């Protein structure tokens, strides 16, 4: 019998430790995740930059493009939509996004299950 339970929520840090428009890296169930706090909300995507193969997106430049919250890779400057993980510079490329929430002042991440 196989389990259909969703992945667990993993505590990352207190919300007060996240600065606006800056990322932090967190290890969630063995996956490096980049967590961002912007004025629009909280976002979590893979920390792995697909263009370079380095875990650096948490150190990327947070901004927006036409109202879309984004992070630009610090290495090759590709820009990713924080809401979807899609690369805005290379159609068809992107990073996985994950669920993120703040509960009782603690930021938690749940890995997105692949479909």
CA 54/CA 32 separation, integer angstroms: 11
DSSP for 39-64, written as a single string = TTEEEEEESB-TTT--B-GGGSEEEE
Give the Cβ contact number of residue 34 at 10 Å. 26
* pLDDT at position 64: 96
* pTM for the predicted model, two decimal places: 0.91
Enclosing domain of residue 76: 13-110
Structural domain count of the chain: 1
pLDDT in tens, the chain (115 residues): 455 566 799 999 999 999 999 999 999 999 999 999 999 999 999 999 999 999 999 999 999 999 999 999 999 999 999 999 999 999 889 999 999 999 999 999 999 876 4
CA 62/CA 42 separation, integer angstroms: 12
* pLDDT at position 7: 77
Q: What is the CATH number of the domain that holds 45?
A: 2.102.10.10
Identify whether 106 is part of a domain. Answer: yes
Identify whether 7 is part of a domain. Answer: no
Identify whether 2 is part of a domain. Answer: no
């Amino acid at each position: 019998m196989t389990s259909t339970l969703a992945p667990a929520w993993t505590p990352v840090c207190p919300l007060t430790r996240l600065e606006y428009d800056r990322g932090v890296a967190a290890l969630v169930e063995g996956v490096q995740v980049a967590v961002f706090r912007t004025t629009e909300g909280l976002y979590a995507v893979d920390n792995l930059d697909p263009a370079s193969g380095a875990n650096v997106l948490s150190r990327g430049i947070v901004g927006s493009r036409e109202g879309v919250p984004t992070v630009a890779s610090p290495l090759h400057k590709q820009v990713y939509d924080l809401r979807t993980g899609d690369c805005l510079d290379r159609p068809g490329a992107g990073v996985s996004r994950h669920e993120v929430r703040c509960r009782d002042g603690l930021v938690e991440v749940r890995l997105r299950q692949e479909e």
